[in-house]
Structure 1
Amino acid sequence: MAIDRLTEKFVIVKCSDVKIEDVYSAFDAGFSDYIIPMKISQQAFIDRFFGPEGNQLETSYIAYYENKPAGVILGGIRYFDGIKTIRCGAMAISAEFRGTGISRILFDAHKKAAEENNCRQLFLEVIKGNERAIAFYHKCGYEKIYDISYFAAENPEKLTRFQAIGKNPAIRIDEVDFQLFSAAADNWEFHINWQNDLPYLESSDNVSYFAAFDDEQVIGCLSVNSGGNISLLYTDKRYRGKGVATRLLFEGITKLKAAKLQAGFPNNSLAEGFLKKAGFKKTALAQYEMYLLL
């Protein structure tokens, strides 16, 4: 069947108007042969993608072909870097329907949702090496803005710098609640990726927060979950080079007893240099952040 005739048979529906089982089915089929394997249960999909990831059923769309889920685009709206943004949390197309124009139809619905909700930009992350997706997003008007790099430490208790300055007694570290952590982090202006940002952390489970103090002033903070994923590690620029970040990491490792540490962040040479000196290794995984201004 010709592509244009096939395209005419697609029906696009808001995910809020269909069964969640269909949304999951479209997602699962589209990611079955993804560049990085992603096989999760329906409940895990709901908990993650309509939880911390910030997607909303009302701004997500599913495509049907003859009553069969053929593709889905997930969308979530919130303020990101102070700008009202719609994020493409995932686009998944079943293998049999790729090359039919369905991606563009779903994207057009996604963009229309952005315009109807007065968003000022569209945003997404894409894995480096996924050239087909990158080329598609370029055609839609997106531009690469940030690179996200990922690092890991397999034996965190043996990280080299901890032995030298990790136990610096001059730095006071306390475990704190999210409110104190977010108030401190909100005062520091820096770009951080969507999955490490404060709204994402607030809706996530099993995250611990630590703050470094000079008397009662917060001079650094760390968020890390029970699996060892570091979302934010920051030191006030006036206190850098004094062991603050190392002390924060040492406290996190000691209290959480994580078997592995991971961290990912966009375009931050200071953070990259610190992690490498501490013994972290850069992983093969890397992403682009891409934006389309409205």
Structure 2
Amino acid sequence: MRYQKCSDVSDFLTYQAFMDGFSDYIVKFKFSEEEFINRFFGPEGNSREHSFIAFDQERPVGVILSGVKVYESIKTMRCGTLAIHPEYRGKGISQRLFELHKQEANNLGCKQLFLEVIVGNDRAINFYKRLGYEKIYDIVYYTNSNLSKFYSAKSQSHIHLKKMDFSLYKQGIEEWNYHINWQNDLEFIAEIPTNTYYGALNNGQLKGALSISPSGKISFLMIEKTSRGKGLASALLKKAAEDLQLTQMSTCFPNNSLLELFFKKQGFAKDSLTQYEMYMLL
């Protein structure tokens, strides 16, 4: 078995290893090579030079994608994916890929490892636990396919809403200190040029913010603590629905009971998909 950095091989081989490894996964992936590259080496934050691929002679049979950033003030290496061809599982390939992943993190001065895994994927969860990962957060998913409530709601004249560019949005929310999952983190959504940003203001001060895609995927919705219960969040969603002519909205977030209660009240239904965030200190 041969192991190389993904930066030393063609992107097609990395793509092939990924698609073969996830061919029997709980969630079915239908990425083209271009879509895979644009996503996993784009917003997902993986780097070819920090990722590794396994070969049996010239056949790619496993891959681990990795990304590094300062995440909540800690230099972190994230495992963006670990995939092994079904015919090659149980042969120690995932263990070796993880060893290379961890060694790379140590070489870069990272202080923790991090990954997400789908609840129900017990084989993967037990593997990560044996390596030393611990489950810290749950990520839940919500969808609303009937937005009539937002279109019919009356606008509230006392709430001042406005679109913002990303730099102003980022500046406004950076002091709101709480855990955000990797895919909704500022560095992640900075790589998504199609998102629209809205702010709810009071006397020129940002009291609420929303980041949302053209398809209605909500990356971020938060109201400053002293301004909650005043209709700002629902007003932001109404504004986005009308501006973008949305037919549905979806979102995901970790361990936030207030957000769960709010979205349920707004007609969002909890999806069956749930993920764990798992961490390992170095």
Instruction: Give the TM bin, normalised by the shorter chain.
Output: over 0.9
1:113-132 → structure 2 map (5 Å cutoff): 113-132=104-123
Q: Percent identity?
A: 48
Residue 239 in 1 paired to residue 227 in 2? yes
Deviation >2 Å, runs of 4+: none
Whether the 8 Å CA contact 1:177–1:209 is kept in 2: the answer is yes
Where 1:51 maps in the other structure, the secondary structure is: coil
**RMSD after superposition:** 1.0
Residue 258 (structure 1) shift: 1.8
Shift of the alpha carbon at 1:157? 2.9
* Pairing 1:106–2:106 present: no
Does residue 1:157 correspond to 2:148, yes or no?
Answer: yes
| Cα separation, 1, equivalents of 2:30 and 2:100 | 26
> Helix, strand or coil: the match of 2:157?
coil
Corresponding residue for 1:192?
Answer: 180
Matched residue, 2:159: 171
Deviation at 1:252, TM superposition (A): 0.8
CA contact (8 A) 1:157 1:253 kept: no
Within 1, Cα distance between the matches of 2:71 and 2:147? Answer: 32
User: Which one of the candidate residues 48, 58, 61 is aligned to 2:52?
Assistant: 61
> Match of 2:49, SS?
helix
Structure 1 partner of 2:61: 70
Shift of 1:82: 1.1
TM-score (norm 1): 0.94
Q: Is the 8 A contact 1:222 1:234 kept in 2?
A: yes
Correspondence for 1:204: 192
Does the Cα contact within 8 Å between 1:32 and 1:39 map onto a contact in 2?
Answer: no
Aligned equivalents of 2:2, 2:43: Cα separation in 1: 29
Separation (CA, whole Å) in 2 of partners of 1:204 and 1:141:
33
Distance in 2 (CA, whole Å) between partners of 1:99 and 1:258 is 46
Q: Which amino acid aligns with 1:192?
A: I
Q: TM-score, normalised by structure 2?
A: 0.98
- Segments of structure 2 that go 5 or more residues without pairing to the other structure are none
Post-superposition shift, 1:259?
1.8
Unaligned runs of 5+ in 1: 1-9
Matched AA of 1:241: G
2: CA distance, partners of 1:141 / 1:184: 37
Structure 2 counterpart of 1:213, one-letter code:
L
What does the per-residue CA deviation read over 1:122-152, in whole Å, with 9 as the maximum and x for residues that have no partner? 0000000000000000011000000001100
Identify the residue that residue 245 of structure 2 maps to in structure 1. 257
> Aligned partners of 1:241 and 1:257: how far apart in 2?
26
Q: Give the whole-Å Cα distance in 2 for the aligned partners of 1:257 and 1:30.
A: 38
State the alpha-carbon separation in 2 of the partners of residues 84 and 268 from structure 1. 24
